[in-house]
Structure 1
Amino acid sequence: MLAPNRLTCLACHAAYTSPGELPLCRNCADKIPWILQPRCATCGRPETCMDCVRRKDSYFERNRSAVSYNPQMKGWLGIYKYRGHEEMRRLIGSMLLHAYNLHKHEAVVGSADCSEMITYVPLSDKRLTERGFNQSQQLAEELGRKTGLPVIPLLQRTRHTDKQSFKTRVDRIEDLQGVFAVDPSAKDKHKALFSSSKVTLYVVDDVYTTGSTLNECAKAIKKEFHSVDICGISWAR
């Protein structure tokens, strides 16, 4: 009866007995490449970012990511996103709290008169059918549980696009032009939420690469709700 409870690491499935803040064994937890000091003020990258320098029109305030996208993080995302191990949402979603706290620590958002809400990058119907779930939605919901902030479905895709990971920066930008729009039913339903004088909306995604996805999401939202400040929260950069 006095034996410690044996837990299972979500990443490597090893047994461990000392629970931490994340459902991981000590070995996996120690290997997380947390972004502790963002160097790019716009995208949160821990080194100089030429993507932000080259972007002509930016519709979002800034992005912050929890970790650097190294081979190990790529493997974790693959287990979740492509192999369908949805229990990984608890791990990756919990890690988003670090990115949210980076926003708060830098005093970017969160003033007393500021309302904060969370939304997420939508999938096309085709991709949702293939995968069976929207990882960005699941991560947003996990972050909502951690922060107590409301999570609202707001965006829709106007057309299906191929996977962005196989495309160049220029191709990403061109391919995503006009691909997002505020869902008409969501616009009517949530209009009152954006009527306050100061609203910050976090757009959640799994990986920030060039910022094209976040920028197009922000552009679509700004078209309908002009005064909202849009910040990105992504798991990896």
Structure 2
Amino acid sequence: MQATLWQQLVHRLAPNCCLWCQMQVQQPQAQLCDYCHAQLPGLDLSWVEQNALLLPAVAQGLQRIKFDRLYSLSWYKQPYRHWISQWKFQQQHAAGQLLCQLIYQHAVRFRQQGWPLPDCISYTPVSDKRLQERGFNQAKLLAQQLAEAWQKPCVSLFQSPQLVPHQIGLKRKERLANLKGKVQLQERPLPAHVTLVDDVITTGATLDYLSALLKAKGVQTVSVWTLAITRAF
């Protein structure tokens, strides 16, 4: 993730503009200026053992779930709401690069602080049709950042042969009904601890469904990483 000499030279000649305030950034490859980066909202998980499931506001909304730990960069609010939407639905790849940078930075700190790491990282799948429409799976790109930061394998554990309808605005039961029979666990050996990655957790239905598939096949611990958690459970 360090800038090369060529990137530093390009930055000096034509620096990026901050994706939030539009001022010039100070660091090569950066998408935010130092000031906006310092002002980013975040979740303080240091007092709950880096597990957002121990936050009352999260625990009240995510009940009877199958995954064991949850780490998130922020609540689902600005500017994360804007960047995630721009990346996911408008194919604004600069926003995607920024979000990948941010989750990588959090993953590095997580490792440096000595928290337990998984045996592998996986991600929520998308159907071939959705992949063709969007051109990328944002959950996979985020998962690859954790894999790089932790030096752990990023593997595809799930497949979605059928198109899953858009889940926006649906309640938990409706989301689960959409997933049944449309997302499958691939046949392969599974480790004891798997980290699943998605961009946003809303009702937790998708990640809960994937976690149940893993637990049914003997996975002992499922941890979840996400960019943001919505309060609208």
Smaller-chain TM-score range? 0.7 to 0.9
Q: TM-score if structure 2 supplies the norm length?
A: 0.78
- After superposition, where does 1:48-59 map in structure 2 within 5 Å? 48-53=58-63, 55=64, 58-59=65-66
* Equivalent residue for 1:119, pick from 119, 122, 125: 122
Q: For residue 232 of structure 1, what is the amino acid of its counterpart?
A: V
Partner of 1:213: 206
Write the distance in 2 (CA, Å) between the matches of 1:48 and 1:163.
23
* Equivalent residue for 2:16, pick from 8, 15, 18: 8
* Equivalent residue for 1:200, pick from 189, 193, 198: 193
Contact 1:156 1:180 in 2 (8 A): yes
Kindly tell me the number of residue pairs found equivalent between the two proteins.
217
SS at match of 2:99: helix
Q: TM-score if structure 1 supplies the norm length?
A: 0.76
Structure 2 residue 225 is matched with structure 1 residue 233: yes
* Equivalent residue for 1:148, pick from 148, 151, 155: 151
Gaps of 5+ in 2: 1-8
Partner of 1:139: 142
Change (3 A) 1:32 1:21: farther
Partner of 1:175: 178
Contact 1:119 1:152 in 2 (8 A): yes
- After superposition, where does 1:15-54 map in structure 2 within 5 Å? 15-19=23-27, 22-37=30-45, 41=51, 43=53, 47-53=57-63
SS at match of 2:96: helix
For residues 142-196 of structure 1, the C-alpha deviation after alignment (integer angstroms, 9 at most, x for no partner) is 2222222211111112532221122123322332334422223xx1xxx2x63xx
Contact 2:52 2:72 in 1 (8 A): no
Report sequence identity in percent: 24
With 26-35 and 76-85 compared, the bigger mean Cα shift is at 26-35
Contact 1:89 1:142 in 2 (8 A): no
Change (3 A) 1:116 1:152: same
Contact 1:37 1:46 in 2 (8 A): no
SS at match of 2:156: coil
With 82-91 and 99-108 compared, the bigger mean Cα shift is at 99-108
Give RMSD over aligned pairs.
3.1
Write the distance in 1 (CA, Å) between the matches of 2:114 and 2:62.
21
Q: For residue 163 of structure 1, what is the amino acid of its counterpart?
A: H
SS at match of 2:119: strand
With 6-15 and 157-166 compared, the bigger mean Cα shift is at 6-15
With 148-157 and 40-49 compared, the bigger mean Cα shift is at 40-49
Structure 2 residue 225 is matched with structure 1 residue 222: no
Change (3 A) 1:159 1:47: same
Contact 1:7 1:15 in 2 (8 A): no
Write the distance in 2 (CA, Å) between the matches of 1:90 and 1:96.
10
For residues 205-236 of structure 1, the C-alpha deviation after alignment (integer angstroms, 9 at most, x for no partner) is 00011111111111122233x04411101111
Gaps of 5+ in 1: none
Write the distance in 2 (CA, Å) between the matches of 1:44 and 1:19.
35
* Equivalent residue for 1:70, pick from 65, 73, 77: 77
Contact 2:16 2:30 in 1 (8 A): no
- State the Cα distance separating 1:64 from its structure 2 match: 0.9
Change (3 A) 1:217 1:207: same
